[in-house]
Amino acid sequence: MHFADRLAVGLRRTRSPLMVGLDPRVGSLPAGLLPVDESPGEIAAAFRQFCCGVIDAVCDVVAVVKPQLAFFEQYGPPGIKALGEVIRHARSKGLLVVLDGKRNDIGSTAEAYAAAYLGAESVWQGDALTVSPYLGDDSLIPFWERARATDSGIFVLVKTSNPGGGFFQDLRTPDAALYQRVAAHVEDLAAQSIGDCGYGIAGAVVGATYPRQLTELRQQMPHAWLLVPGYGAQGGKAEDLRSAFDDSGYGAIVNSSRGIIFAHDREPYRARFGASRWQDAVAAAANDASEELGAVAGLR
């Protein structure tokens, strides 16, 4: 099935646009999962156990998870092995997997990245990949073409949620800001690859921390799914996201990482569950966020 249509089906099933980011950190793991030493093998094993446990806790509430590749890659071959096991576990639970690697390069190197990450038959089996646009439009074409051929998708960095994002993204060209130029190109790629749901396989990363630009970019990219980071721990509010969705409640997936996966260490979940029931805390936090976002989107 067309990637955009699979996203729509997932949101229809869960009635929520929530996406859970899998960003494991050693210092934030529940006490019972802390590695016995600081070797890459022990840390990677703990990450695998933790992330698979998170997937089990949220798979009935969300349609999409987003592993952040860097948290696994930093531990070398054991981390890479753990990442593969986490991806396979997510797919076994029927979840879509957006790989967050922000990859890009030119020519055959871009083709190799695309072949590695995109599609069920690729070695990493990603349903989608985050991609940087700053090597130019020709560097995006290999990812877009691979996504078309494999019923997968890409999310291009357009307006990111980090405080320094505007350092380059807000620079003015003669006719628009740089992020607006990127958005126009993403919309063109999306419009050329529309599924039954009205959206294409090229989407855009647009941060929840910039609500005015979020509204603007939803209008500028009517055929692009938006991947919205910054909700929750980064300060983005649910009510600021209303404009990200279309009239049916579709068109955007909203990422939450720390606020969900480490819920055992923040209120009100810490008092209710604590570290010993960390999966219950994850499930409760995911359910609460899903209800809040579903209501904002109009999916509830």
Helix (H) or strand (E) holding 110: helix 107-117
Tell how many helices (H) and how many strands (E) occur in the chain.
12, 8
Helical pair 40-58 and 76-92, crossing angle rounded to 10 deg: 10
Residue 204 and residue 218: Cα distance in Å, rounded? 10
Residue 6 and residue 12: Cα distance in Å, rounded? 10
Q: Please, how many CA atoms are within 13 Å of residue 4, restricted to the half-sphere of its CB?
A: 26
Local structure of 117: helix, strand or coil: helix
Catalytic residue among 81, 102, 159, 237: 102
Residue 277 class from Cβ within 10 Å (0-12 exposed, 13-18 middle, 19+ buried)?
Answer: middle
102 is catalytic: yes
| Cβ atoms 195, 4 nearer than 8 A | yes
From residue 148, alpha-carbon distances to 4, 9, 117 in Å are 11, 18, 13
| Cβ atoms 19, 255 nearer than 8 A | yes
The maximal CA–CA distance of the chain, rounded, in angstroms, is 57
Residue type for position 154: I
- Give catalytic residues, as residue numbers: 102
